[in-house]
Amino acid sequence: MTFIHEGNHTLVENLINFEKMRMLARAVRMLHCCRSHSNVPLSPLRSRVSHLHEDSQAARTSTCSEQSLGTRSPASTWAYVQQLKVINNQRELSRLSRELEP
């Protein structure tokens, strides 16, 4: 939404840019739709291991495949997100990048 807002003028020739407003409305609708589904487990304190065992096949599905998105259970997606690690060290990120793309 930030890119839509900052990348498009609100007024074009002193008229409202309705294309920008349509793009914003589409983004808001998509966010609303995503938020209306309960994709989080009832208890966030449940162990990650139990989430993975609920749907081990979906947990093994490739993260690169758009077709696989429909086959994943909310529990396996939640478990995957919970195990992600954030790297804030720029040098570490550069080192990892050089390892992948020399």
Q: Are residues 86 and 53 in the same domain?
A: yes
Q: Are residues 25 and 47 in the same domain?
A: no
Task: State residue 3's pLDDT score.
Answer: 93
Task: State residue 72's pLDDT score.
Answer: 73
In one letter, which amino acid is 74?
P
Q: Are residues 4 and 49 in the same domain?
A: no
Q: Are residues 21 and 48 in the same domain?
A: no
Long-range contacts of 80-89 (CB under 8 A, 24+ apart): 82/48, 82/51, 83/48
Asked whether the beta carbons of 4 and 23 are under 8 A apart, the reply is: yes
Task: State residue 39's pLDDT score.
Answer: 55
Residue 11 — very low, low, confident or very high, per pLDDT cuts 50/70/90? very high
Our count of domains for the chain comes to 2
Domain with 4 in it: 1-37
Q: Are residues 44 and 33 in the same domain?
A: no
Number of Cβ within 10 Å of residue 85's Cβ equals 4
Number of Cβ within 10 Å of residue 8's Cβ equals 14
